[in-house]
Structure 1
Amino acid sequence: MSPAFTNAGRCETGFPMRKRVTSLAINQELVDERILITGGLGCIGSATVKWLLLNSQCQILVGVREVDPDRARGVLGAIDRSRITLVKVDVRDPDQVLTILDHHRVTRVVHLAGLQTPDCNEHRDLGLQVNLGGTQNVIEAIKAAASPLRRFVFASSMAVYGPRSSYPAGTVAMDSALCPVNVYGTWKLAGEQLTRLLHQETGIDAISLRPGALFGPGRDTGLTATPTTAMKHVAQGLPYEIPYSNHQDYQYVPDVGAAFGNAILEPFSGYGALTLPGHCLTTHQLVQEMREAAKLLGLSDRFQISVGSETVPFICEIDSQAIVAAFPKLKQTPVRQAVHDSIEFYVSRLRNGQTV
């Protein structure tokens, strides 16, 4: 038997691993796969869709609150969308989710729909219905579907951990104690347990992925979106202050999309809760990377990014070897290139008369 990762990140015997094949063979083998991505035009959702379009032949159902082809074109850009179907899905409605699964004969699901931390804090009842109740509804629909699912990937978060000060210095073990500091993290932790139970009760291979602080194109909302906002201001030559100074695991949006793409398609057996690799930097170090990118892009004379004095207790330095072992094809863009490419993206949009 091959190893499978448990929710604690430890290794134990699970279902037999399927034979690993090359990327070309995977594309041919998975041509009949139909993947539903809830929250499919959000930051991670759209990055995952783009990765799947470029790296597979799967049919992709992009779950959205309202079907708007113009928005899809704006979010996904100049990419072949012939294998995409926009489907209206409200995860608060389990019957609607089940209808989509059965009608489209969905074989795999990436569940990303959810409210960000600020909205969860301000609208706790809605956050509970969407982030936790919605996850439960998706899972129950999967269990009731006419055709068995082959893989379920749940978007969790590093917010399931406690503040950095509650862990020892150095690398934080992935299976360290989980103690969320807010309702967003609490509901994500509960979603991980629901995902584990889905595997336990049905045998469906399931993964909970824990992203950290994302930056780059598409990162527009949420508590940790301010570094990306700073990059937009660099492109515009405008002043901006990132309100907090801290140490954080930063992750480039396309890399996170690739991680979800690998998690939904690559061979995996059992259940795993896995943290994503990131660049562990201070806010000042990230701003320095922005400064270097601005220099290369000829924007140095207008660079006006500063860092505030507020501190935040975000978790960082979490070990990510488990996901690297599970999905060895994963690549991480060097932080200097990722920051440069992000700012260059916004510069290009401005030159084309588009908003950032």
Structure 2
Amino acid sequence: MSEPAVLVTGAAGLLGNAVRALLEADGRRVVPIDRVSMTEEGRPIVVCDLSDVHRLHALSVESQIVGIVHCGAHSGPMVARDNPYSMVQVNIVGTANVLEIARIHGARFVFCSSTSAYGNTPGGPVPEDVLLVPTSVYGASKVAGEQLVSAYSKQYGVDGVSLRLSWVYGPRRTTDCIVRTMIEDALAGRPTRKLFGRDFHRQFIHVDDAARAFVMALNTPHLPRQSYNVTGGTYLTLGEIGDIVRRVLPQAEIELGEGPDPVDDMQHRFDVSAVQRDLRFQPEISLEHGVRDYAAWLRNRAAA
């Protein structure tokens, strides 16, 4: 009989792929699922849609699932913006389907939530227990997912936790990201010009740090909280982030106007004392190091 396994949903995506790699490096058996059959690098994936409850159950029985890291979802407010029905089906119904696996098989459950659940925040540091008032269907889907995790815990005893990630960047991120835009423009000899952002704060976390937090949460059952803020530890304006990109890539020409991003929330620094206390989590990758890492990956990808 094979050893018990961890189910990682969204395993072809940015975070799911990184979580899978960390777990496998630790010697854990992983069942990686997504809607595609392999990652960009050619690593095999078990094809399974989150809506296919029968397939999910069959895989769980075959593989002795004892833990679930649920990263499978539309990955941000910029995705499926014109298809809110899909956002609800994938992010909310899909989460309920995977929670059923956790309930039936007694699996530890770690949910990838987002600081988009907050919407616009009061003054910081912002703790986990403030009122959540999302401004996007994506943010609302994360609130709903967290509430499902909490309800499954209270009603059925599922050992679950939600990690609210700030903006994730780094190698393999290809969806909308101002850091990637600045780097790609610099590498191509193009200027980056935005009409906003010089004084607008955004909190980034490198994908490898985010993945570590998820593995730590998976490995720490029965946490005292059911939701945690997880950020990269910085609170910088896009102008300050542009300065870091220029230090890494001196050819970068970045011009930003004043004012907020018109499609993003105004958020203050998030309080991360709970995750530091309960998981002993600290980000290890500075933004400058992360930008260098991301630039090297983008340069190699463009050359390939």
Asked whether the two chains share a fold, i.e. TM above 0.5, the reply is: yes
Question: How far 1:124 moved relative to its partner?
Answer: 1.1
The equivalent residue for 2:185 is 233
Name the structure 2 match of 1:92: 51
User: Residue 37 and residue 52 in structure 1: after superposition, are their counterparts in 2 closer, same or farther (change >3 A)?
Assistant: same
Shift of 1:291: 0.6
Match of 1:281 in 2: 236
Q: Does 1:343 align with 2:270?
A: no
Selected match of 1:58 from 19, 25, 28: 28
- Matches of 1:314 and 1:137, distance apart in 2: 32
Quick one: distance in 2 between partners of 1:33 and 1:310? 51
Distance (whole Å) between structure 1 residues aligned to residue 62 and residue 174 of structure 2:
33
**1:199·1:270 contact (CA, 8 Å) conserved in 2?**
no
> CA–CA distance in 2 between the matches of 1:72 and 1:263?
27
1:199 maps to 2:158: no
Q: Aligned partners of 1:211 and 1:243: how far apart in 2?
A: 26
Native 8 Å contact 2:117 2:142 kept in 1: yes
CA distance in 1, matches of 2:63, 2:88: 28
Residues 1:141 and 1:205: Cα distance change in structure 2 (over 3 Å): closer
Partner Cα distance (1:285, 1:48) in 2: 29
Partner of 2:103: 143
CA separation of 1:339 and 1:131: change in aligned 2, threshold 3 A: same
Q: Is 2:261 the counterpart of 1:306?
A: no
Cα offset, 1:267, TM superposition: 4.7
The residue aligned with 1:159 is 116
Q: The residue matched to 2:132 in structure 1 has which SS?
A: coil
**1:129-168 deviations in Å (ceiling 9; x for gaps):** 1111111111123323xx421x10011110111214xx13
**CA shift at 1:233, angstroms?**
2.4
Identity, % of aligned positions: 25
User: For the residues of structure 1 that align with 2:243 and 2:37, how far apart are their CA atoms?
Assistant: 40
| Rounded Cα–Cα distance in structure 1 between residues aligned with 2:154 and 2:204 | 32
Structure 1 232/52 Cα, relative in aligned 2: closer, same or farther at 3 Å? farther
State the alpha-carbon separation in 2 of the partners of residues 98 and 343 from structure 1: 40
- Compare 154-163 and 240-249 and name the one that shifted more: 240-249
Shift of residue 323, structure 1, vs aligned partner: 0.8
With 123-132 and 44-53 compared, the bigger mean Cα shift is at 44-53
2:41 corresponds, among 64, 70, 73, to 73
CA distance in 2, matches of 1:180, 1:64: 27
Deviation at 1:34, TM superposition (A): 0.8
Spell out, residue by residue over 1:312-333, the C-alpha distance to the aligned partner (whole angstroms, 9 max, x if none).
Answer: 3332301011111111154331
Q: Secondary structure at the match of 2:7?
A: strand
Contact 1:204 / 1:270 at 8 angstroms: preserved in 2? no
**5 Å matches for 1:15-54?**
32-54=3-25
4+ residue segments displaced more than 6 Å:
none
After TM superposition, give the deviation of residue 243 of structure 1 in Å. 5.7
2:274 is equivalent to residue 322 of structure 1? yes
- Separation in 2, partners of 1:203, 1:341: 41
Is 226-235 or 276-285 further displaced after alignment?
226-235
Secondary structure of 1:121's match? Answer: coil
Cα deviation 1:24-79 (Å, max 9, x = unaligned): xxxxxxx944111110111111121222233x1101111110213xx3525xxxxx
**1:206–1:270 Cα contact (<8 Å) kept:** no
Letter in 2 for 1:291: R
2:275·2:281 contact (CA, 8 Å) conserved in 1? no
Q: Which runs of 5+ in 2 are unaligned?
A: none
Q: Following TM superposition, by how much is the alpha carbon of 1:202 offset from its aligned partner in structure 2, in angstroms?
A: 2.8
Distance 1:314 1:174 in 2: 16
2:143 is paired with a residue whose SS is helix
TM-score calculated relative to the size of structure 2? 0.89
- On the 8 A contact 1:205/1:271 being kept in 2, the answer is no
| 1:234–1:343 Cα contact (<8 Å) kept | no
**Corresponding residue for 1:20?**
none
Q: Secondary structure at the match of 1:346?
A: helix
Tell which structure's C-alpha radius of gyration is larger.
1
